Amino acid sequence: LNLGRRSQRSGLQGDLLWGLGASGPRQRTGTDPHPDFDGASAFETTSKAEVDRFMGIRGRSSPKSNHGAITRAQLAEKGLVAVETPSDNALSTEAGLKHYSIRPADSPDPNVKLTSEQMDFVKAQLDATRPVIQAKPKDFGCG
Amino acid sequence: VVERVVFRGKHLAVARGARLELFEVAGEMLHGVGGGEAPGDIAALCVAPHAPWVVGRDAEHRQVWWWRQDDGVRILARPAAARDHAIGSLVEIDGESFVALSQSGRLRLVRSDGTEAAALVIDRPIRWACHGFALLPGGRVAVLGNIADEPTDLVFVLPARTLLSGPDAIQRTLVAIRAHDPTVSHDRALTLVAGPGPGDTLVVLRNPEAEEPPPDPDDEADEYPDTWGLRGAYLRDLTSGAMVDRTPWDVRFAKLAAAAATARVLAVEVPGGVDVRDRATGAVEHVLGAALDALGARLAIPEGSSWRVRALPQ
């Protein structure tokens, strides 16, 4: 696998929260036409087999695009928390991966809409978090 | 108080706080024809090109409303659940304006008499949030939005009347895009806007930020989309699908900003006005306070308490 040095160091066995872009999970803020009122989306993998399934689904649409993953420890350092929420993305419905919403640690209830200020906070904290892994579906033979 | 201005066809709408004012083109000027109060501070609005009809919402998406000159404000949608919210916009199909309401897995097209013309499925198999539309030449429309959980926005082009062809019209297109169907013009980027170009072309302005790094050296160039890595603008021929112009341009624009191109210039709404770039020289003029009517390829420029119309160079 050509995952780069950071990903080789970190491995794929741990608990990882993947975003669907190179930077990892990202927050759509209140200026977006469709804000993430419940928090930034992430999909969890806990094993190489789950990463394979993640990349298999992503390879259908974005085989050349990098995907970034971060850890819960990184979230905690930034005052954030990931809470499980439903998703009808194929990553959940077909690959069986759990979907999480990343929110301020002091507002974990996903049924409570984040305010514009809270969405800005989540975005700023995630933007300041470097992914521990970046990988492309094609690195896994997908797409 | 933040001012928002939208210019489409005959009409220009100005929002300041909750106050809405409507102007209408008369020769080279726009004159006020009415106004009203929205239910709250206006965070987004659209105006119909041929009718005194405005759709807007507040910043928290608590309600989407329309305002019409003859009957004032009407609430169209409120959140149905804690994790639900609506997006409202306007789209023209064969010269008729429809309100488009994206909420709870449906994109509903509503006529001016309040009747529902269509209810398109936008939750299965792919969950889609429809942000808005840009009218294009040849009865086409660019549809802007995002697939759930994706950080990037997606734009694709349809014949506008396809939106009335059945409840699966959007899903058919999304599935075709996922299957890499080359006949569907589309693009993805963290920020992108679209509009009409000269002749039978589409102009797209895009900013992929760090999502599109240089291709791997062991990959073939044609394995990547022809837009890969471009921050700036391009024109695409809507008949052949060929990219006919590619302009790197570090311009700062917001989502749903109006954009247009003529044979001579590229134009896009930016904070505080419109940037107009000469396609031959690259010189950029910032037209302070202006709004862009993309399909009409013209600007509205504030002049005292009114507005003056200025055509883009053709």
**Residue contact B123–A88, C-beta within 8 A:** yes
What is the chain B residue with the closest CA to A58? B178
pTM of the model: 0.94
- Residue pair B57/A28 in contact (Cβ under 8 Å)? The answer is no
Q: How far apart are CA A113 and CA B162, in angstroms?
A: 35
Between B195 and B217, residue with greater pLDDT: B195
Q: Which residues of chain A have pLDDT under 70?
A: 1-10, 143
Full DSSP string of B239-290: TT--EEEEEE------TT--EEE-SSEEEEEETTEEEEEETTT--EEEEET-
Complex ipTM: 0.90
Query: Minimal Cα distance from A43: which residue of B?
Result: B149
Residue of B nearest to A2 (CA): B216
CA of B68, closest CA in chain A: separation in Å?
A: 23
- Residue A9's pLDDT is what? 43
- Checking if the pLDDT of B214 tops 80, the result is yes
Share of chain B above pLDDT 90, in %: 86
Q: Given B145, B178, B210, which is nearest A61 (Cβ)?
A: B178
Q: For residue B153, what is the enclosing H or E element?
A: strand B153-159
Q: Identify which of B74, B179, B224 has the alpha carbon closest to the alpha carbon of residue A64.
A: B224
Question: B255 vs A113: CB contact, 8 Å cut-off?
Answer: no
Q: Which residue has the tokens 């993998």?
A: A45
pLDDT of residue B210: 86
- Across the interface, whether the CB atoms of A99 and B149 are under 8 A apart is answered yes
Q: Report pLDDT for B289.
A: 96
> How far apart are the C-alpha atoms of B12 and B277, rounded to whole Å?
23
B92 inside 8 A of chain A by CB = no
| A61 at interface of B, judged by CB pairs closer than 8 A | yes
- Chain pair A-B, CB pairs under 8 angstroms: 79
Q: Which two tokens stand for residue A34?
A: 């469709």
Helix (H) or strand (E) holding B26: strand B19-26
Does residue A64 belong to the interface with chain B, where contact is any CB pair within 8 Å? yes
For residue B24, pLDDT over 50 is answered with yes
Joined together, the tokens standing for residue B93 give: 């199909």
How high does pLDDT run on average in chain B?
94
